[in-house]
Chain A
Amino acid sequence: MKKIIVGIVVVILIVVGVSYFGKNSSQPTAKESIKIGVILPLSGTAALIGEAAKNSAILAKESFGKTKNTYELIFEDDQIDSKKTVLAFRKLVDMNNIKAVITGFSGPGNAIAPLAEKEHVIHFSIGSTDTTIPKNKKFVFSHWLLPEKQAEVYIKEAKIRGLKKIAMIVVNQQGTIATREALLKEDPTIFILKNDTISPEERDFRTIITKAKNEKADALMLLILPGQLTSTVKQIKDLGITVPLTSAGSIEHEKEAVSLLEGQWYVNPGGPSDTFVEKYKEKYGNLPQIGSGNVYDVINILISSFEKSKGVENVVNIISEIKDFPGVMGVLDMDSEGIISGTAIVKKIINGKFVEVK
Chain B
Amino acid sequence: MDILPQLILNSVIAGAIYALVALGFNLIYGATKFFNMTHGVIAVIGAYAFLFFGKTLGLNLFLSVFIGVATAAIAGYGLDKLIYLPLRKRKASNMALLIASLGAFTALQAIIAILFTSQFQTLWRNYSTQKIYEIYGGVITQTQLIILISGILITAALVLSLKYTLFGKMVRAVSDDEEAAKIIGINTNKIISRVFIIGSAIAGLAGILIGFDTGIEPTMGMSLLLKGVIVSVIGGVGNIYGGFLGAFLLGFAENFGIWKISGEWKDAIAFALLIIFLLFRPRGIMKK
- In whole Å, how far is A91's beta carbon from the nearest beta carbon of chain B? 19
Residue among A195, A211, A231 making CB contact with B120, cutoff 8 Å: A231
From residue A99, how far is it (CB to closest CB) to chain B in Å? 30
Given contacts A197-B264, A204-B14, are A238 and B118 in contact (CB under 8 A)? Answer: no
Asked if A195 contacts B262 (CB within 8 A), the reply is: yes
B214 touches A198 (CB 8 A): no
- Closest CB-CB distance, B50 to chain A, in whole Å? 16
**Interface pair A254/B264, CB less than 8 Å apart:** no
For the side of the interface on A, what is the size category?
35 or more
Residue B56 at the chain A interface, CB threshold 8 Å: no
Per-residue CB proximity of A267-300 to B under 8 Å, as 1/0?
0000000000000000000000000000000000
B62: Cβ under 8 A from any A Cβ:
no
Smallest beta-carbon distance B120→chain A, Å: 4
Task: Tell which of A45, A208, A211, A260 touches B127, judged by Cβ atoms closer than 8 Å.
Answer: A260
Question: Known contacts A196-B262, A203-B220, A207-B263: does B119 contact A234 (CB below 8 Å)?
Answer: no
B1 and A240 form a contact (CB under 8 A): yes
| Cα distance A237–B118 in the bound complex, in angstroms | 25
Contact of A210 among B7, B118, B214 (CB under 8 A): B7
Min CB distance, B17 to chain A, in Å?
A: 8
CB proximity of A339 to chain B, nearest CB, Å: 29
**Smallest beta-carbon distance A211→chain B, Å:** 7
Q: Which residues of A contact B259 (CB under 8 A)?
A: 207, 211
Q: Which B residues are in CB contact (< 8 Å) with A231?
A: 120, 122, 214-215
**Residues of A contacting B141 in the complex (Cβ-Cβ under 8 angstroms):** 238
In the bound assembly, the distance between CA atoms of A176 and B122 in angstroms comes to 24
| Complex alpha-carbon distance, A288 and B7, angstroms | 42
A230 touches B120 (CB 8 A): yes
B262–A206 CB distance below 8 A: no
Range class of the B interface residue count: 20 to 34
On whether A45 and B118 interact (CB within 8 A), knowing A207-B10, A210-B10, the answer reads: yes
Q: Mark B254-280, 1 if CB is under 8 A from A, else 0.
A: 010011001110110000000000000
> What is the minimal beta-carbon distance from A258 to any residue of chain B, in angstroms?
12
Q: Is the CB of A199 within 8 A of B217?
A: no
Residue of A nearest to B118 (CB): A44
Does chain B have a CB within 8 A of A120? no
A202 within 8 A of B: yes
CA gap between A235 and B132 in the complex, in Å: 12
For residue B187, CB closer than 8 A to chain A, the reply is no
Chain A nearest CB: distance from B7 CB in Å?
6
Q: A331 an interface residue at 8 Å Cβ cutoff?
A: no
With a cutoff of 8 Å between Cβ atoms, the chain A residues found around residue B127 in the complex are 234, 237, 259-260
* B120 adjacent to A256 (CB under 8 Å): yes
Residues of chain A in range 199-257 having any CB-CB distance to chain B below 8 Å: 199, 201-208, 210-211, 213-214, 226-228, 230-231, 234-235, 237-240, 254, 256
Q: B183 interface residue, CB < 8 Å from A?
A: no
User: Does B106 reach chain A (CB closer than 8 Å)?
Assistant: no
A129 CB within 8 Å of chain B: no
**Contact between A203 and B132, CB atoms less than 8 A apart:** no
Nearest CB in chain A: distance from B270 CB, A: 11
Query: Are A202 and B263 in touch, CB under 8 angstroms?
Result: yes
Nearest neighbor of A210 in chain B, beta-carbon distance: B6
CB of A70 within 8 Å of the partner chain:
no
In contact, B6 and A239 (Cβ under 8 angstroms): yes
**In contact, A207 and B120 (Cβ under 8 angstroms):** no
A199 contacts across to B, CB distance below 8 A: 263-264, 266-267
Chain A residues contacting B69 (CB-CB under 8 Å) are none
Q: Does A304 contact B (CB under 8 A)?
A: no
Contact with A along B236-258 (1 / 0, CB 8 A): 00000000000000000001001
B223 within 8 A of A: yes
Residue of B nearest to A171 (CB): B264
Any chain A CB within 8 A of the CB of B129?
no
**Is A69 located at the chain interface by the 8 A CB criterion?**
no
Which chain A residues border B118 with CB–CB below 8 Å? 43-45, 47, 79
A–B complex contacts, Cβ < 8 Å, 15 sampled: A79-B118, A197-B262, A197-B263, A202-B263, A204-B214, A206-B13, A210-B3, A230-B120, A231-B120, A231-B122, A234-B127, A238-B132, A238-B141, A240-B1, A256-B121
4 new A-B pairs (CB below 8 Å) besides A197-B262, A206-B14, A239-B139?
Answer: A202-B266, A210-B10, A231-B214, A239-B1
Interface residues of B (CB under 8 A from A): 1, 3, 6-7, 10, 13-14, 113, 117-122, 127, 130, 132, 139, 141, 144, 214-215, 217, 220, 223, 255, 258-259, 262-264, 266-267
In the complex, the 10 A-B pairs of residues with the closest C-beta atoms, listed nearest first: A44-B118, A198-B263, A231-B214, A206-B10, A227-B120, A208-B263, A231-B215, A207-B255, A197-B264, A196-B262
